[in-house]
Chains A and B, each alone.
Chain A
C-alpha cells in the first residue's frame, strides 16, 4: 500500500475518519467493559451521569479540566512548532513548588499583588525547566523527548526531597506535604458557594491569549513555520533557534500555571500526588484538539468528563477506572490516523 495526497478533500472525507476514530475508542472501551463483566451501555451511562449528572459532578469536571487546559495548551504550542515537550508533568510541579514557597507567608502582600507575582514566578520556573532541554536540542541536537521525559522523574524526586526536607509542613503529622497557603495566596472562587476557582477562568483566558498569539502575531506565524518546515523557515530568514527557545518558554510557562492553579486554587498545599499525570494527559488533550488552543478547551472538558465519570462509574459498577485511560489513549492513536486519512487516501500497489 502507499499513500496518495487528496487535492480537494470533500466534507465527508474531512469529517468521517475523526468521527470513526472516536467511535472506535468507545468500541474498544465497550469490549473491555464486557470483559470486566460490565454492560457497556450501563458503563457509559454511569460515566455520563458521573461527569455531568449533577451540579457537583459538573463542577468536579470543570475543576478537573482546569489543569488539563493548561497542560494541553503547553503541549499544543510546543508540538505545533515540533518541539516535543513531554515534560509538562515536571513543569507543572515547578509551578506548584514556586506557589508553595511564595504562598506561605514570605511575601506579606495583598492578593491583588501576591497572586500575579506567584503566577509569573511559577511561569518563569516552568519556562526555565523546559529551556534546558530546548537548549540541549538547539545547541547539541539532543532529542528533547528523552530529556524532558527523564526530567519528569528527576524533578519529581526533587519535589519528594523538598516535601520531606525544606518544605515539609511541621504541622503535617509526618505526611510529606507543604504548609498550607495563606489566605492571600489562594485563588478565590468565581461564585461564592460554588466549588470552582478562578484558575478555570485563567485557563480559558490563556487559551484565548494563545489563540491570538497563534493567529495574529509574528511569533505565532514563526512557530507554525518552524514546525512545518524548519529548513524552509531558516531559508526564509527566520531565527529558527530563537523561535524554538521562545516556544519552549511559552510552553513551560503554561504547564507551570497548571501547578499554580492546582495548589493556589484547589488544594491549598503541595503534595507528591498533586498531579495524576496531567502532564501526560495534556498530550492526549492537545492531539484531540488538533493543537488548536480553543480546541484544547473542548478536548480538556471532554477528557476531564471521562475521567470524573469513570471514577464515579468505577465506584458504582466495579469496572476499573483505568478504562478511561485506555479510551483516551486509543482515541489518541486512532485520531492521528484519522487525521492522516482526511488528507491522504490509501492506494494498493
Chain B
C-alpha cells in the first residue's frame, strides 16, 4: 500500500479524527487557560486523572456520560488547585503546573492500586460505540470518516465551535481574552481578574480531563498507567501551533493526528518495516517541537501569559 492509497482511504481519515479527538478536548482546555493568562502545565496529570476517573466511574456502574461528567468534575477540582496557587498567590506557573502533574499522576496511580488491589490486568468497560449520523455518514468518501465516530468525538468538535463562539462573540469571552492581554484594563472596568482567570483555569482543566477520559471511554475500554504518554505536552505545542485560536488549534490537532495515523500505517509497509519502530513513535514528539520552532517567529502569544496580576501593584 503506498502513501497515496493510505491518504485517500476513509479508514485512514476515520482514524485521524479519532486520534485527534482527545487532543482537541485538551487543547481547547489549555487554550482557555492560556487566553486568560495562565499556562497550565498540570495538563498531563489532569488528563491522567480524567482518564482514570471517567473509567472507574463507569466501571462502578455510572452510564458513559456520567463517566464524562465525573472526569470533568475531577479536572475542575485539580484546576481549582492550580488556579488557587497560580492566580491569587501568583506562584510560578511552571512550578505549580509540574507539581500538579506529579500530584495528579501519583494520586491516580495510588487510587488505582487502592480500588483495584489484586488485578493483574485492568478490567474492561463497554466504551462509547460509533454512532453513524444518518445521511451525513452516507456521503461517499469522507462522509463515513467524519460521521461514523463516537458521540464523544462529535462533542469534541462541538466544543471547538462553542469555545470559538464564547471567546469571540460574548462579553465573557472578551473578558477572558482581556485578562490574558491586559489584566489592568480588566480591573479598571471593575471586573475581577482573579475570578476570570480562576474560572478559565477551572473550566479549561475540566476539558483536559475529558480529553483524558476520551482515551478510556471511547478510544479504548480500559485504563493503563502510561496511557496519556505525553499527549498533554503535545497539546501545549498545539495551542502555540494554532496561534491561540480555537479553529486553527483544531486543524493543528487533525493534521497532527493524521501524521500519527500515517506513521502507524507506514510501520506496516515493507519499507516501514526496515526502519526501527521507535523512529515512528518519536514522530509526534518531533513534530511538536517542529511546530513550536515554526511558529516561534509569529508572536501572537497573549501579552500577559504567565504574568501574575496583583491588584494595587503598578
Contact = CB atoms under 8 A, between A and B. Distances in A.
Interface of A: 1-3, 32, 35-36, 84, 86, 136, 140-143, 145-147, 149-151, 153-154, 157-158, 160-161, 164-165, 280, 283-284, 287, 318, 320, 322-323, 325-326, 328-330, 332-333, 336-337, 340, 349
Interface stretch (B17-25, B48-56, B89-97, B203-211): B89-97
Given A136-B293, A340-B91, A329 B85 contact: no
A150 B102 contact: no
B28 interface: no
Contact of A140 (B98, B117, B296): B296
Given A3-B89, A349-B311, A145 B94 contact: yes
A349 B312 CA distance: 10
A2 B187 CA distance: 13
A337 B91 contact: yes
A149 B229 CA distance: 11
Interface string B288-311: 110011001101000000000011
B47 to A, nearest CB: 14
B109 interface: yes
B278 A146 contact: no
**SS of B interface (majority):** helix
A228 B109 CA distance: 37
Interface string B81-121: 10001001111101110111011011101100110010000
Contacts of B236: 146
A160 B289 CA distance: 20
B310 A336 contact: no
Contacts, number: 128
Interface in B33-61: 41
Nearest to A320: B113
B230 A336 contact: no
Nearest to A136: B293
A3 B90 contact: yes
Contacts of B98: 86, 145, 280, 283
Nearest to B117: A318
A158 B277 CA distance: 10
A328 B99 CA distance: 9
B267 to A, nearest CB: 13
Given A141-B296, A161-B278, A322-B110, A154 B286 contact: yes
Contacts of B233: 146, 149-150, 153
B255 interface: no
B276 interface: yes
Contacts of B229: 153
Interface string B232-248: 01101100100000000
14 contacts: A36-B110, A141-B296, A150-B237, A280-B98, A287-B99, A320-B109, A320-B110, A322-B106, A325-B110, A332-B99, A333-B81, A333-B85, A337-B89, A340-B91
